[in-house]
Chain A
Amino acid sequence: MKKITLLFFLALTFILPLSLHAEGKPLRWAAATDSNAPFAFYGPGNKLTGFEYEVIMAVAREMGREAVFVPNDWDGLIPGLSRDLYDCVICGIEITPEKSQEVLFTNPYYVTYEQLVTAKGASQVNALDQLQGKQVGTLSQTASFNMLSDTPGVIVKTYDEEVNAYADIVHGRLFGVLLDFPIAKYYAFANPNLSFNGPPFGQISYGIATSRGNAELATEINTALAQVIASGEMRDILSRWGLWTDMMADTFGQPQNPSLPDTEYRAFVAATAEQPSLVNRIIGYARFWPLLLNASLLTIEVSILGMVGAVLLGFTLAIMRVYGPFPVRILATFYIELVRGTPLLIQLLILFYGLPNIGIKLEPFVAGVLGLALNYAAYEAENYRAGLLAIPKGQMEAARALGMTQRQGLIHVVIPQSFRLVLPPVTNDFISLLKDSSLVSMVTLVDLTGAYKQIATQTFDYFGAGLLVAAFYLLIGLPFVRLARYTEHCLNPAAHSGARPSRLHKPQGKS
């Protein structure tokens, strides 16, 4: 009965999420919010904010649709569109011919340029070829990366987060960083150690990306966008965020002076400039409690369900491998070697982003659980196999001699004994799985590692956030270690009789 309930529950978790997004009304939009000021990011109070956030809210309002935010990683933003995880992406994506092959862009909502930032007092740079022989940082998949790559002699370093790039100028690892003006303004302009250097380079336009098959939506957004621009609301938004440039004024044919004071920019600088005391910093983390709590729950859910799946499948594989007929043994061995020989991250990415190509779309949660289960099943199978083989042959012989079938012997004699043997390694694997579950943050789930990214990019306290999240992993793991010890103790037959604990009865080899 228990088994059936469990299967039912598993089936439910797999089927339910698939049936959720039938209604087409809300406008589902995605962005990578980590380290993403001033585009769309989590500001004080863990509230979503940013100029792109305001733009998409205004656009959705004009369209008469409710805007629903779907978080994702930068690298997964475009694949997520084709997976139909959301309707559009607004995340400072530059309109280029290559990207236009993959997605359908709306008209630009922002036009800007690349800004070079160097250490204060560095030599003046007027053209990119003056960067020859110098180390220059940028983000991958950006216009500035292409510009730097096209300039001979420049040593290009790519970063995942702009903060780290700018920090490396201060640390003396980089001569400069070339990035989009909004990024430079928010992450470098206020830093007394850094300064803007040289003229605007190039011109780039940000567009909202929609699915290529969805021209209707792009048109709808364009109409709404035009209204937001024409009404002056766009100028208001950009002015408040300190992003209303001459280039923007020219593009939209509107006055050059900002229509409102740059309050949002000042607030951001104020929030990030102050170096709070340790105590205040810890108190400041209190606002992340709900985030951390939800993230912990997700980590626990994914880990436990993943482990349950891994145990069930791994057990089946082990039985197949030890007791199955030849072809079944080969099949199980093949699966185990295949899974153990490839990285979990790649398996997760294939499950989530690869399978839709053959028509299988998994919800992020399902993909995460399934990925962990399928991967760890291979390791569990080897544990169980070792456990099964460690039981002396005489045990099965005694069972057979008593008239039991092989199946009965397995169920009543061999498996219960190997269960106790494999408990310690299986517990260790669960602790490993708990930690490896951090990889599900790559399929858009906000688990503890996802929470770490959010906290770190809001507070710029990578050290503190790292310690905090590490502590959460540790706290979650500890009870399971204790539980395993307790179970192991209870299963030890010698513990019942009060006699000295003794190992499994191991007969000497028969002559």
Chain B
Amino acid sequence: MDSNTPIVSIQDLRKSFDETPILKGVSFAIEEGDLVSIIGPSGCGKSTMLRCINGLEILDSGVISAAGASISREPGAPLDAAFERRTHDLRQRVGMVFQQFNLFPHRTLLENTMLAPMTVRGMAREDAKKAGRALLEKVGLGGHAERYPANLSGGQQQRAAIARALAMQPKVMLYDEPTSALDPELVDEVLHVMKALDAEGMTQIVVTHEMRFARDASDYIIYMEGGHIVEISDEDEIFENPKDERTRRFLRRFI
């Protein structure tokens, strides 16, 4: 792939809830293999944007492309079957990790990883099992494959959720505040997994309040406020020398 072709590209993304605009025209592009952190105050639209990227929220207008799939919409355009199909296609290339893990509580960790490949891809049970075990091993949960989510710590659950998303072999991983629901001492084990994925070349977009991680691991940082992207900067640059006054005000609280 041409290294200049972005793997994720968002153009003029707009989204309102009940007439309240949340995203007021957001555009950016991400190169393959980058780890990008999105930061900003609560309600700035960063989670909504992430959810738009894999179709959990339907965009009002704009263009979203990721890993070769793309959805676009004119303002007020009806949601037809073709749009549904493209959204479905997009989702399969993009993995998502939630703040609350959202593991399936009635299934073991291994079954959590096997379900989507088997139902969506039609993968054989034995193959799904083998792949699932490998992924759990990778996130350090090899010994817990047969356990149920309810019996694990938050950090273990979130790592399992990452393994579950990876089972669909996504080209891009999205994280929606992946460590916000965790006790502080469990945060690092999750971030560790994400850093390891970065080292393997996975493209990752992380909505986070974890400034230390954002600074340590990100290739660059997007700062959002009021439904706009305010600043896109190098990870050190934004912390030491933010260009925009709003960014400066926000970051002051963390330093």
Interface residues of chain A, those whose CB is within 8 Å of chain B, are: 392, 394-395, 397-405, 408, 412-413, 416-417, 420, 491, 493-494, 496-497, 499, 502, 504-505, 507-508, 510-511
Contact = CB atoms under 8 A, between A and B. Distances in A.
Interface in B101-126: 101-107, 115-116, 119-120
B119 A394 contact: no
Contacts of A392: 100, 102
A394 B98 contact: yes
Contact of A394 (B95, B102, B115, B150): B102
Given A398-B104, A400-B91, A402-B115, A510 B168 contact: no
Interface string B151-170: 10000000001001100100
Interface residues of B, number: 33
Contacts of A502: 150-151
A155 B116 CA distance: 76
A10 B54 CA distance: 44
A505 B56 CA distance: 21
A510 B181 CA distance: 9
A124 B99 CA distance: 91
B122 to A, nearest CB: 12
B54 A511 contact: no
Interface in B55-102: 55-56, 88, 91-92, 95-96, 98-102
Contacts of B149: 505
A508 B181 CA distance: 9
A410 to B, nearest CB: 11
B120 A397 contact: no
Main secondary structure of the interface of A (DSSP, over half): helix
8 contacts: A398-B103, A401-B95, A404-B120, A412-B115, A413-B104, A416-B106, A494-B151, A505-B103
Question: 3 tightest CB-CB pairs across the interface, nearest first?
Answer: A507-B100, A398-B102, A402-B116
B99 A510 contact: yes
Main secondary structure of the interface of B (DSSP, over half): loop
Contacts of B181: 507-508
A494 B150 contact: yes
Contact of A397 (B56, B165, B168): B56
A507 B105 contact: no
Contact of B119 (A404, A494, A507): A404
A171 B147 CA distance: 70
A403 B104 contact: no
Nearest to B55: A400
A502 B106 CA distance: 12
Contacts of B107: 493
Interface of B: 42, 54-56, 88, 91-92, 95-96, 98-107, 115-116, 119-120, 147-151, 161, 164-165, 168, 181
A401 B91 contact: yes
Nearest to A498: B151
Contacts of B148: 493-494, 496-497
B116 to A, nearest CB: 4
A390 to B, nearest CB: 12
A408 B119 CA distance: 7
Contact of A404 (B100, B105, B116): B116
Contacts of A499: 150-151
Contacts of A496: 148
Given A403-B91, A403-B120, A398 B98 contact: yes
Contacts of A413: 104, 115
Contacts of A395: 102, 104
Given A400-B56, A400-B91, A402-B120, 17 more contacts: A394-B102, A398-B102, A399-B116, A401-B95, A403-B168, A404-B119, A408-B119, A412-B119, A413-B104, A416-B106, A417-B106, A493-B107, A494-B148, A497-B148, A502-B150, A504-B105, A507-B181
A408 B120 CA distance: 8
Contacts of B42: 511
A400 B173 CA distance: 15
B84 to A, nearest CB: 9
A402 B100 contact: no
Contacts of B91: 400-403
Given A408-B120, A412-B119, A402 B105 contact: no
Contacts of A510: 99-100
Contacts of B102: 392, 394-395, 397-398, 507
Given A401-B96, A507-B181, A497 B151 contact: yes
B105 A493 contact: yes
A505 B115 contact: no
A323 to B, nearest CB: 15
B100 A401 contact: no
A511 B115 CA distance: 29
A511 B99 CA distance: 10
A505 B150 contact: yes
A395 B96 CA distance: 13
Contacts of A400: 55-56, 91
